[in-house]
């Protein structure tokens, strides 16, 4: 059988030539286990590997020039991230969890001032921008200043003297309060 003349090849021919290729790609992705559809809503069932908060905060306690506190992971929560960053020459230790309510909750600890931490957590550059203080809350026996951005990102900040601690989430205040109360009652890790 002779090949079709080039002038007669159209989009339908292109489509049918891509179908086997796409089927092969889907088969390889499914077989490798590196893709998921995400039909279940439980963060504990996620294929994203858990992050080791204990090791990360222990390492930060040895490396950071300020005391680090390590709250225990609440029941039903999944640690999923951690990083070290800087704010105008001040170091920041950050870890995060997916809460039981399926919200991301971030804990940041730094020796930077609250004036520097607020825009860092609020994502508004070098000034307060669209971040507004909304009041104060008590958690873990400490007073926390509460903030919220126009986009609904909420965070609480408290001052331990040489360290400022911020807890951030777009989820319910109960998730923020869980980590805030927990971290406030912890003793600093050994450096």
**pLDDT, tens digit, for every residue of 57-91?**
999 999 999 999 999 999 999 999 999 999 999 99
Residue 42 neighbours by CB under 8 Å, 6+ apart: none
Question: Would you state the pLDDT for residue 127?
Answer: 45
Question: Would you state the pLDDT for residue 124?
Answer: 60
125 class by beta-carbon count within 10 Å (0-12 exposed, 13-18 middle, 19+ buried): exposed
The pLDDT of 41-52, averaged and rounded, is 64
From 12-21, 45-54, 99-108, 164-173, the region with the lowest mean pLDDT: 45-54
pTM of structure: 0.74
The CA-to-CA distance between both ends of the chain, in Å, stands at: 77
Residue 126 has pLDDT above 50, yes or no: no
At residue 90, the 3 state secondary structure works out as: strand
CA-based radius of gyration for the chain: 24
- Owner of token pair 């080791």: 52
Q: What distance in Å separates the CA atoms of residue 45 and residue 83, rounded to the nearest whole number? A: 23
Residue 188 has pLDDT above 80, yes or no: yes
């Amino acid at each position: 059988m002779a090949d079709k003349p080039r002038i007669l090849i159209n989009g339908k021919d292109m489509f049918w030539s891509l179908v086997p290729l796409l089927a092969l790609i889907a088969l390889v992705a499914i077989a490798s286990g590196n893709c998921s559809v995400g039909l279940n809503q439980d963060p504990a069932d996620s294929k994203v590997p858990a992050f080791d908060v204990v090791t990360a905060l222990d390492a930060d306690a040895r490396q950071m020039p300020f005391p680090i506190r390590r709250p225990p992971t609440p029941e039903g929560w999944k640690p999923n991230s951690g990083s070290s960053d800087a704010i105008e020459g001040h170091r920041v230790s950050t870890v995060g969890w997916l809460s039981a309510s399926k919200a991301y909750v971030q804990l940041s600890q730094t020796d930077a001032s609250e004036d520097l931490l607020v825009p860092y957590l609020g994502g508004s550059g070098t000034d307060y921008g669209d971040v507004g203080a909304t009041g104060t809350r008590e958690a873990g026996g400490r007073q926390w200043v509460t903030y919220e951005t126009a986009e609904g990102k909420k965070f609480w900040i408290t001052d331990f003297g040489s360290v400022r601690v911020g807890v951030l989430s777009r989820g319910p205040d109960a998730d923020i309060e869980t980590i805030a109360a927990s971290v406030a009652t912890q003793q600093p890790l050994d450096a």
